[in-house]
Amino acid sequence: MPADTNAHGTIFGGWVMAQVDIAGSIPAWDRAQGPVVTVAVNSFVFKEPVFVGDVVSFYARVLKVGRTSITVDVEVFAQRRSATREAVKVTEAQLTYVAVDDRRQPRAVPNTVVQT
């Protein structure tokens, strides 16, 4: 939306970062079978700008599972409003989440994967 833009008419990087964190938390939550918290942004690369009117898609997958942590890769694509409806990769990131219990303390990630 226009309120999410900077002076150059592109979407604020912080907005994209927030959406990446949400997208990454979904497979992390699934793999942890419960709540997770973000503990690290391992890498974050802005490759292309996101323009107002772009349709933005976020793709996240689990890369690695530790005892309490889950590392997730997120790729972001923007479909431009041009006649070709070209989709370009605009951002890629890697984040680490930690599974937490009811007291927000780290807990072990279950060894079994629940099929959803």
pLDDT of residue 52: 87
* Residues in the chain where the model's pLDDT stays below 50: none
How does strand 36-46 pair with strand 55-65? unpaired
β-partners of residue 113 are none
pLDDT of residue 8: 86
DSSP conformation class of 2: G
Structure tokens at 105: 């303390």
Give the pTM: 0.90
Q: CA 52, CA 3: separation in Å to the nearest integer? A: 10
CATH class of 2-99: alpha beta
Q: CA 4, CA 16: separation in Å to the nearest integer? A: 10
| pLDDT single digits (tens) 34-46 | 999 999 999 999 9
pLDDT of residue 116: 57
Tokens 């900077």 label which residue?
6
| pLDDT single digits (tens) 50-61 | 998 899 999 999
